[in-house]
């Protein structure tokens, strides 16, 4: 098998390094000195990428310093391109809704499980999709979003919501990982990482909110770096509640410091869902 070394990229991040080392090099400069032209693939030097430079991995634009603006920009451009093509096509109103539901939103939501998206981002994408739906249905610009989102059986258009899909994908990603039967996920990865991230956010909340009497903005920014805690926060913000073996998953910590929706107080809720997982019975409460 022939692999092109010039097309192979290498990058990294020295997170525990000081601002400058004994040679006066920043972590980025020190890493470049260690890796550039030193890693060979079939006697060809690999291409070095700075930690702040974006690269594409499994259709997600990443950086080693977890700067998500490049991925957000790519999602903006992709969604706009597809919506412009759909609006300029001869698709009927029903075909437009089906295309948005089955093709456009899934292509955007593919990265939701790992990409932190703010509420303004989600609202912007929902508004972009809503404008195309209004145009194809010849609706007034003042048409209520509630009518577009309402189910067709209740005389709405039944248009899907990016906001709902983002929370659904985040919930599915966390639950799927928790239910993974492999030893690596059960004993090491998901639960340990989730517990560690929530504990760190709790410590930050104590520091910023109580000792320094600051705002929760630094904590919200930290969610961009804590994927599992962010997914759990999405679950509770959607008024869902997870339990493993009859015990709640870090509900008190999230309720106090990330301010999610409070789940129902008892397990006799009429809309409670029970299903068996590798961890034992799991309960989800629906509003």
Dihedral sign from CA coordinates of 286, 232, 217, 70: negative
Q: Say if 167 falls within a structural domain.
A: no
Q: Look at phi and psi of residue 182 and say left if phi exceeds 0, alpha if psi is from -120 to 50, else beta.
A: beta
Number of domains in the chain: 3
The model's pLDDT over 213-257, given as tens digits with 9 standing for 90+, comes to: 555 666 677 777 888 888 888 887 887 777 766 666 655 544 444
Global pTM reads: 0.75
Q: Look at phi and psi of residue 161 and say left if phi exceeds 0, alpha if psi is from -120 to 50, else beta.
A: beta
CA atoms of 117 and 60, how far apart (whole Å):
13
Same domain, 132 and 200: no
Of the candidates 122, 234, 258, 126, the residue with the CA atom closest to the CA atom of residue 173: 234
CA atoms of 164 and 145, how far apart (whole Å):
14
Count, residues in the chain: 287
Quote the domain boundaries for residue 214: 181-285
Same domain, 45 and 84: no
CA atoms of 180 and 183, how far apart (whole Å):
8
Same domain, 222 and 140: no
Q: Say if 175 falls within a structural domain.
A: no
Name residues of the chain where pLDDT drops below 70.
1, 5-6, 185-188, 205-219, 244-287
The model's pLDDT over 151-190, given as tens digits with 9 standing for 90+, comes to: 888 888 888 889 899 999 998 988 888 888 877 766 567 7
Same domain, 11 and 106: no
């Amino acid at each position: 098998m022939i692999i092109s070394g010039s097309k192979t990229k290498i990058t990294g991040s020295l997170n525990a390094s000081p601002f400058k080392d004994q040679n006066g090099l920043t972590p980025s400069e020190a890493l470049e000195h260690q890796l550039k032209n030193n890693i060979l693939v079939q006697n060809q030097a690999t291409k070095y990428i700075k930690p702040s430079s974006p690269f594409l991995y499994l259709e997600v634009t990443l950086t080693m310093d977890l700067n998500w603006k490049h991925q957000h920009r790519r999602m903006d451009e992709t969604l706009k391109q597809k919506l412009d093509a759909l609006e300029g096509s001869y698709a009927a109103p029903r075909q437009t809704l089906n295309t948005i539901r089955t093709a456009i939103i899934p292509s955007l939501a593919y990265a939701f499980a790992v990409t932190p998206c703010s509420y303004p981002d989600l609202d912007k994408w929902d508004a972009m999709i809503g404008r195309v739906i209004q145009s194809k249905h010849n609706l007034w610009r003042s048409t209520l979003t509630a009518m577009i989102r309402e189910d067709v059986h209740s005389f709405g258009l039944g248009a899907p919501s990016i906001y709902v899909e983002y929370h659904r994908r985040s919930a599915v990603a966390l639950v799927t990982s928790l239910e993974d039967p492999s030893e690596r996920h059960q004993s090491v990865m998901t639960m340990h990482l989730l517990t560690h991230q929530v504990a760190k956010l709790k410590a930050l909340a104590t520091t910023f909110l109580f000792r320094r009497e600051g705002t929760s903005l630094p904590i919200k920014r930290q969610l961009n770096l804590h994927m599992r805690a962010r997914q759990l926060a999405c679950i509770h913000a959607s008024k869902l509640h997870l339990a493993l073996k009859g015990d709640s998953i870090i509900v008190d910590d999230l309720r106090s410091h990330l301010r999610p929706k409070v789940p129902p107080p008892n397990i006799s809720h009429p809309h409670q869902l029970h299903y068996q997982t590798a961890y034992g019975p799991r309960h989800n409460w629906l509003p």
